[in-house]
Structure 1
């Protein structure tokens, strides 16, 4: 992302910081790269003072490499709970039908349809907000109760502590950071598979020509 394009997400970020303040979290498709841009910008001191945390949503994280996921995936960030960080995608999904309905509309009617859609969408979401909060609260309590019990069983079975999970994460990060080349054994196995593929290809060539000549008669 160049400096010219970065001004748009930076403007959005400044507004979010002004509205929500302390201990905020922002999910961004390229939050890993944008984090450095934001902290080196004029917003850097505000981001640091308000303890803003940038992350990559669960859907887009899988397009990033393993090391990036360990650093920026919300699975490894405390306080993210059950959120997947893809709120915009839910909105896009709800508005997809507008495309085919307004494809041949005039500019006025297209904008009118979009405005009406989001007005009704917002009203529906606001009306269901109480149930939304209660259902998610109940789900979170149930998950904490169930998963904590299962985790305690696994910790007892494998003689693990909470510190071990943190250590496993640090070890994986360290391994990927220092990873330069595949182990020799893995390189040999890969070359062996490639050799087998080449052998199969070469064995298939005469067969192909033989079938070709047979069908040409």
Structure 2
């Protein structure tokens, strides 16, 4: 990819999923995509329903982002996300990597066909194992939650911390993570918005 992330692609895909009860959408750069969507919604009200989904920055990708970005967007801190990682593409790539020793000797057409068949196999495998996978994930998340709650209560007792103090700390951290805009960032945002407006005007409305 020569242009980096193209936000129009996930926007179109999410538009097709908007009619379904989807709570989160996971993305490697959700922290950049969400402001783009909010700006686009100002000029395209038909995208309003996309704002009902919560942005979920992939857990492992969040580790490579700024810490404020991780605190604000990471799926690890999203209420209701359980132990979801949001790294579906990477898991699929790991599955496809096992045929690299074979596909590297194939022609371009043969390699494309093989990767397509394997991707279809991956999707079918997920579909077949969906019920058991969800049950196992729910059980793991429940056990992990109980363990963390036990450790949490033990730590509160050890440090003599009250619930009010904890709420204050959480508020402080969230406010710190939100305070990410500097004068330079504001200038960049203005330029980015202007570029988006110019590009929108140049794109033909019909072919």
**TM-score when normalising by structure 1:** 0.68
Q: How does 1:119-198 map to 2 (within 5 A)?
A: 119-175=120-176, 177=179
Q: 1:174 to 1:141 in 2, by over 3 A?
A: closer
Judge which range, 109-118 or 155-164, deviates more.
Answer: 155-164
Give the Cα separation in 2 of the matches to 1:99 and 1:62. Answer: 28
Q: 1:166 to 1:88 in 2, by over 3 A?
A: farther
Give the Cα separation in 1 of the matches to 2:128 and 2:171. Answer: 44
**TM-score when normalising by structure 2:** 0.71
1:53-91 deviations in Å (ceiling 9; x for gaps): 112111111221121111111222211111111111101
Q: 1:29 to 1:113 in 2, by over 3 A?
A: same
Q: In the alignment, is residue 35 of structure 1 matched against residue 34 of structure 2?
A: yes
Larger RCO (CA under 8 A, 6+ residues apart): 2
Give the Cα separation in 2 of the matches to 1:6 and 1:119. Answer: 25
1:116 CA drift (Å): 2.3
Give the Cα separation in 2 of the matches to 1:108 and 1:60. Answer: 32
Q: 1:145 to 1:39 in 2, by over 3 A?
A: same
Give the Cα separation in 2 of the matches to 1:6 and 1:129. Answer: 29
1:33-56 deviations in Å (ceiling 9; x for gaps): 1101112222542134xx211121
> CA RMSD of the aligned region, Å?
2.7
Query: Quick check: which has more Rg, 1 or 2?
Result: 1
Preserved contact between residue 24 and residue 52 of structure 1 (Cα < 8 Å): yes
Q: How does 1:191-210 map to 2 (within 5 A)?
A: none
Match of residue 45 from structure 1: 48
- Structure 1 gaps of 5+ residues are 181-217
- Structure 2 gaps of 5+ residues are 183-207
Judge which range, 114-123 or 169-178, deviates more.
Answer: 169-178
Give the Cα separation in 2 of the matches to 1:40 and 1:66. Answer: 24
1:93-132 deviations in Å (ceiling 9; x for gaps): 1011333422232243223212321233333333333332
1:178 CA drift (Å): 7.9
Q: How does 1:58-73 map to 2 (within 5 A)?
A: 58-73=59-74
